[in-house]
Amino acid sequence: MAGAPGATSRNMGWWGGPDVARARLVDDLRDSGRLTDPAIEAAFRAVPRHVFLPTMRAADAYQDEAFVIKTGPDGLPLSSSSQPAIMAIMLEQLGITPGQRVLEIGTGTGYNAALMAHLVGAPGTVVTMDIDEDLVAKARAKLDAAGYHDVIVVCGDGGFGEPGYAPYDRIIVTAGAWDLAPEWLEQLGPGGRIVLPLSVRGIQLSLALEREDGHWRSRSAFRCGFIRMAGALAGPEAFLPLGPQPGLHVHTDDGRPVDAGALYAALGGPATDVPSGVAVAGLGELGEADLWITVTQPDLVRLTITGGGPLRGTVLPLVPLGAMAATGLDGGPAGSLGVAALLPAQVQAQRVSGYGGFEVAVRGFGSGGLGLAGRLAGQVLAWDGLGRPGSSRLTLRAYPLDAPVDERPGQVILDRQHTRLALSWAAA
């Protein structure tokens, strides 16, 4: 699903018809600070989301939520209508101005393309493409019904871009990517910018990238969650069934094998919580600690666990759940399997100073879980001591694989098929 971690939603359908619900949604996005650009606010007020979600009651389409519009035979989502909060964030990252030429990878319902068509105006061009013929046909019909006849809708593999209308001023990818396609970068004109949800050790970050001295540099970064790309640029992070189905699924950050039986047994067994002594204001800040620990602990495997089943709501109170694992994961020495995840724990305000919210606890699973939980609790303390580095202080630089990488203290390097990613945090 396409959403912004930590964002909240509420059912607004009973408050009135679609026009009233749309106005309240935009007011909430603006008042929460997730929508600050007046032009983008005007687009959200003008474009009727309910036209792009015709199977829903019209007013209900204006909840600040992502809605699945197509699932696969395994029940996993294949496409969704993105959460308006993350759409607003990404459109602000994109920085569209009237008259620009924009390419969207991942059409979905067509709603985002309509918003961008409103922003570029009559002199501009919006090209949107999707690999799914059925989605493309439906999006074309919905765009026409909403009055956006000039949007160009293409069926094709977005991993290759759409050279027929290049060069573009802006490219936006609305499916989870594991790498930067060379075609996207080639099809961007001078001064171009690309915004995409890029997987960084299994955590997706919405990044705005621009050219800089032979590489691409991020200008902003926000945590997000999108359905992963299909086609030529699909990454190795395939979901594996975990336990009785329908139920949980898991993927690792680099697609390495998982002993699903041992992992499920560990998650279903005894769990131990280790308090960190660090309090955070909410789930958003907890996610920042999770991001920093995930990136700076390269010897551990990042797990993403999603779905339902008998474990949901018991030992797994937060699903989707991001966890770290050490050894025994691929059928090796299972006796040393350890899994640990950062979770919120309610605390008395006097136990911690300065933040209020909840304390970060680390829950350990498996025979090695207690030791791993203790290690991660120590990392939470280290994160706090460094001034709580988060996505707002993170810079990602993307280099060609054969290009030298500028050295920076504490930099983390991740190699992909086409690019080498270098991540570093600015000092507090």
DSSP string, 363-401: EEESTTHHHHHHHHHHHHHHHHHTT---GGGEEEEEEET
Q: Is there a single domain that holds both residue 212 and residue 245?
A: no
- Lowest mean pLDDT across 40-44, 80-84, 165-169: 80-84
Least confident of 125-129, 197-201, 298-302: 298-302
284 within domain boundaries:
yes
Please give the pLDDT value at position 10: 42
200 shares its domain with 328: no
Co-location of 207 and 290 in the same domain: no
Q: What is the mean pLDDT of the chain?
A: 89
Residue 17: the pLDDT is 87
> Tens digit of pLDDT for each residue in 210-255?
999 889 999 999 999 898 999 999 989 888 998 888 888 899 988 8
Which residue in the list 79, 81, 82, 218 is annotated as catalytic? 82
Burial 221-260 (b: 16+ CB within 10 A, else e): bbbbbbbbbbbebbbebebebbbeeebbbbbbbbeeebbb
Could you tell me if 324 and 178 lie in one domain? no
Boundary of a domain, candidates 165, 200, 224: 224
Are the C-beta atoms of 165 and 103 separated by less than 8 Å?
yes
Contact (CB, 8 A) for 64 and 35 = no
Query: How far, in Å, CA of 37 to CA of 425, rounded?
Result: 27
* In a shared domain, residues 208 and 280: no
Same domain, 31 and 151: yes
Q: Which structure tokens are listed for 67?
A: 């809605």
Does one domain contain both 26 and 70? Answer: yes
Same domain, yes or no: 49 and 141: yes
3-state secondary structure (DSSP) of residue 419: strand
Higher pLDDT: 128 or 79? It is 128
The answer to whether position 160 is within a domain reads yes
What pLDDT score was predicted for residue 6?
45
Alpha helices by DSSP H, listed for 170-325, are 182-187, 260-268, 283-296
Return the structure tokens found at 159: 């991993």
Cis status, amide bond into 275, omega within 30 of 0: no
**Nearest residue to 416 via CA among 237, 244, 162, 190:** 237
- Do residues 198 and 218 make contact, with C-beta atoms less than 8 angstroms apart? no
With respect to residue 408, please indicate whether it lies within any of the assigned structural domains.
Answer: no
Q: Is 168 exposed, middle or buried (0-12, 13-18, 19+ CB in 10 A)?
A: buried
Domain shared by 271 and 374, yes or no: yes
307 pLDDT tier (thresholds 50, 70, 90): confident
Cα gap 218→20, rounded to integer Å: 37
| Whole-angstrom distance, CA of residue 303 vs CA of residue 254 | 10
pLDDT higher than 60, residue 4: no
Q: Is residue 391 part of a domain?
A: no
Of the candidates 372, 363, 366, the one whose C-alpha atom is nearest the C-alpha of residue 341 is 363
pLDDT of the residue at 348: 37
Which amino acid is residue 218, in one-letter code? S
Asked if pLDDT for residue 147 goes beyond 90, the answer is yes
For the chain, how far is it from start to end, CA to CA, in angstroms?
Answer: 32
On whether both 155 and 109 belong to a single domain, the answer is yes
Does one domain contain both 333 and 189? Answer: no
Q: Do the domain assignments include residue 341? A: yes
- The answer as to whether 60 is a domain residue is yes
* Residue 412 vs residues 217, 294, 300, 403, 405: alpha-carbon distances, Å: 15, 11, 14, 16, 11
Range(s) of the domain holding residue 89:
13-224
243: left (phi over 0), alpha (psi -120 to 50) or beta: left
> Does 101 fall in a domain?
yes
CA distance linking residue 96 with residue 40, whole number of Å: 9
- For residues 251 and 25, the answer to whether their CB atoms sit within 8 Å is no
Report H helices in 15-95.
Answer: 18-31, 38-46, 84-94
Q: Is residue 362 part of a domain?
A: yes
Report for 37-46, 277-286, 357-366: range of highest mean pLDDT: 37-46
Q: What is the CATH number of the domain that holds 122?
A: 3.40.50.150
Tell me, yes or no, if 82 is annotated catalytic: yes
Looking at the whole model, is its pTM more than 0.75? yes
pLDDT score recorded for residue 80? 85
In DSSP terms, which residues pair with 326 in a beta bridge? 338
352 pLDDT above the threshold of 50: no
Q: With beta carbons less than 8 A apart as the criterion, state whether 388 and 357 touch.
A: no
Q: How confident is the model at residue 79 (pLDDT cuts 50, 70, 90)?
A: confident
Q: How far apart are CA 192 and CA 168, in angstroms?
A: 7
Q: How confident is the model at residue 2 (pLDDT cuts 50, 70, 90)?
A: low
Q: Are residues 114 and 71 in the same domain?
A: yes
Instruction: Please give the tally of structural domains in the chain.
Output: 2
